[in-house]
Amino acid sequence: MLHTSGATRNRTKEGRKAVFLVLLMLGSLIVALVPAVSASHITQYAVQRDPSHLSVGDLDCDGHNDIVAVSMMGHFITVLYNDGSGGFQDRQDVFISNNVSQRAGFVDTANSVDVEIADVDDDGVNDIIYYQENIRFVGESFVRPGNLTTMWGDCNERVNEWDLTEITVSNPYHLGMDVADIDDDGAADIVLVTQDATAANQYIQIYRGPDPSLLTNQQSIPVPLTNGLYVEVMLGHWGETVQGGGIPGGIGDCEDLDIWLLRTPPYNIGVGYSVGHFDNMTVLEYDCLTNQYPNPMDATAQGVHEFKLDADHNYPLYGIDIADTDDNSEIDLIAAIDGITGNISYATKSGSSWSTQNYVYLGDYLGASLTIVDINRDGEVDFFVPTEVTLTRLQDSTAQNQTYLLLDNLREINSVEIILADPSGPGYLSSLSFNVGRRPTMAIPAQLQGGDESAYEIVIGQRDYGYRFADNAMWLDTQGWAGAGDFLSVLTLDNEDVGITEVTIAPASYNPATGQAEIGEGTRWVNVTVKNTGLNPLTGSINVDLEVKEVVGGTDTVVYSNDFEGNEDTTNCANCAFVKNSYTGMYETGASSWHIESNSTAATENVSWYEADSNPTDYYWAGIDYNGDNESDSGYYNNMDEALILENVDLTGADAAYMDLSVMCTTAYFELYLAEQYSVVERWLYEDSCGIEVWSEGNGWESVFFNGGWDNERFFRIYWQ
């Protein structure tokens, strides 16, 4: 069954500088429902499945920040290289499964869950640090350890060619990770918090650079879960004064970074969380003399600080961050998603005490994470929050607000909320809201283009969630069209910007033959929405000019055509050329499995019912059956992710552009099930996909066609159940 969303049916609204024909396969590559965003502009980039964590830094030594994303329940991590103008067309995946073959199946799922970019060996070149859990499957009698891996940066090599060092972590379940230079020696260090397989203990593990694999550079602090679960870990300076011995030495402030932990109530595997609050903070001071952190369970230990954020509820805090707001190298601000209250709560430090229970209105959202940063570069720190899901709030008969999570909430498109500091005084402005997709999970600020004083761009990761209803039924995002693709969004904002974000014309009719709306004759209402799409507050007025053009006739010009049997027309596209990409590194640069399939014997014998085999003509094909050598052995290897791109298509001066091509897409799917004590439920969906995307400067990749292996099931589940 072939499905094309309403968004993709709208072929092309304007002439484009370039069109890239992209035929992508195997890897959740294209979003079938991506709304327009009311910002300066937003771009979309396909990555490996479920990008659960992101990091930004220069990975090719060109002075521009690149992006790395890990892949939950996948086999790869993805790097997007910056072209110098904030575009990320250049993509490279890195195979990280412990199976040495890229033919690895589901039993070798790496499940990379965290990643950072930092210079670990102090050589002036950034490295990549990532953690993978390695999934345990039913029937295995052992617990698979995790892997903490450092990929050593090399300015002269693609990231998939870098050397690496792996550290085996016997307590595999990831709780949090942060990377920074904790002892001020110039080499970045790693703090990792994991849990053992028995759910009895957690471990705060420190790996110091420049060689984190040396036992002398490691420390492990066991903490029982009956003390509470550490759900967040961050690095920052508490502000202590110690007796010298650090780098560079002497008496005075030790230029170190301390560990900040968010702790839940006590946890026991038999009964779950004890009654209590989820707002407990633990800070462990770094000792410059011993190069160690104290054990929070040691009642005699020095440098352990415990305090509360004074939440007035028992909900978890769904995201937290810390910041130094006055540039004195001491943390003085803590902000967190205040459960399901629709607020951000924050605490400020004055002297040795914390002022808590300060609130900023977020809205009817469940935040996925929170970041503190001066997004508009005005000298005041701001908050921004990707929202995981909307919330429904109703008043009951006693006028009490009740919060619900309903099906409509799960179906809605979600946003990134940016809350700016009030430039005219203390406090914060109302949030700026930008729709970005179904389930934005993480958003990080980064300077991806423009000068040092320009507003940050925001890199947004979107992964698929699974939700459980009261009757134990599951909701899987991957089973809807909006969750069929895996991608990153880059939101580029200006400090001052005004844009037209929506134009509606009514009445209008839909023509199913063309997949377009038609206006026809008569009077129509035109509604134009103008919005401040910048960061700074604006006052004033603007003029909007509306011009109606009637297009009659016109000239259709063939820009490029090719039947792949030797007949190619490049008259109006002299520089057009096909370029092959193998994102997984299976093939060398410029090569892939894409080839022209020829020498079919279908004209003389009944070779197969399969359309690819019975096609008597030549055609471009991404598969392993070459030139009719084996008609019954045609298809793809698993874990392939490849593109065929038609470059340098110039549409300058065109009013519209159309593609006319024949496409055959063969896709399948595979599901993993979660084994529980009393049931087995659907949990993870893997599917092949193919599609066509269009690239233009400033817009990134835009989907015009998508077909996924689960589409037939999507149709029946969404429309018939």
- Reported as type and span, the H/E element at residue 716 is helix 711-719
- Reported as type and span, the H/E element at residue 393 is strand 392-395
Question: Sign of dihedral through CA atoms 501, 505, 510, 514?
Answer: negative
Query: What integer pLDDT is reported at residue 33 of this predicted model?
Result: 29
| Residue 49 Cα distances to 111, 339, 706, angstroms | 10, 28, 16
Helix (H/G/I), strand (E/B), else coil: 514: coil
Residue 694 in tokens: 């269009």
* Cα distance between the two ends of the chain: 17
In the chain, domain spans? 47-61+69-170, 502-532, 561-719
Query: What integer pLDDT is reported at residue 700 of this predicted model?
Result: 82
Closest CA to 488 of 22, 9, 34: 34
| Helical spans, DSSP H, in 354-471 | 407-411
Helix (H/G/I), strand (E/B), else coil: 7: helix
Residue 417 in tokens: 């909320």
From CA 522, how far away is CA 50, in angstroms rounded?
48
The owner of tokens 């439920």 is: 681
pTM of the predicted model as reported, rounded to 2 decimal places: 0.87
Spell out a b/e string for 274-309, using b for 16 or more CB atoms within 10 Å of the CB, else e.
eeebbbbbbbbbbbbeebebbbbeeeeeebbeeeeb
| Residue 84 Cα distances to 87, 413, 525, angstroms | 7, 31, 43
> With contact defined as beta carbons under 8 Å apart, do 257 and 331 qualify?
no
CA 197 distance to own-chain centroid:
27
Helix (H/G/I), strand (E/B), else coil: 351: coil
Residue 554 in tokens: 């016109």
Taking the CA atoms of residue 171, residue 174, residue 176 and residue 178 in that order, the dihedral angle to the nearest 10 degrees is 70
- Reported as type and span, the H/E element at residue 138 is none
From CA 596, how far away is CA 599, in angstroms rounded?
10
Pairing relation of β-strands 487-492 and 41-46? antiparallel
Give Cβ neighbours of residue 410 (< 8 Å, ≥ 6 apart).
389, 467, 475
Closest CA to 213 of 284, 291, 125, 150: 150
> With contact defined as beta carbons under 8 Å apart, do 687 and 667 qualify?
yes
Query: What integer pLDDT is reported at residue 68 of this predicted model?
Result: 98
* Cα angle value 193/199/200 (rounded, 5°): 90
| Residue 353 Cα distances to 50, 348, 499, angstroms | 40, 8, 45
| Residue 247 Cα distances to 183, 215, 336, angstroms | 7, 21, 33
Residue 386 in tokens: 């990707």
Q: Specify the amino acid at residue 587.
A: Y
Q: Specify the amino acid at residue 63.
A: G
The owner of tokens 């792949």 is: 564
Q: How many residues does the chain have?
A: 721
Q: Which residues of the chain have pLDDT under 50?
A: 1-39, 246, 252
From CA 290, how far away is CA 243, in angstroms rounded?
12
Q: What are phi and psi of 334, to 5 degrees?
A: -125, 130
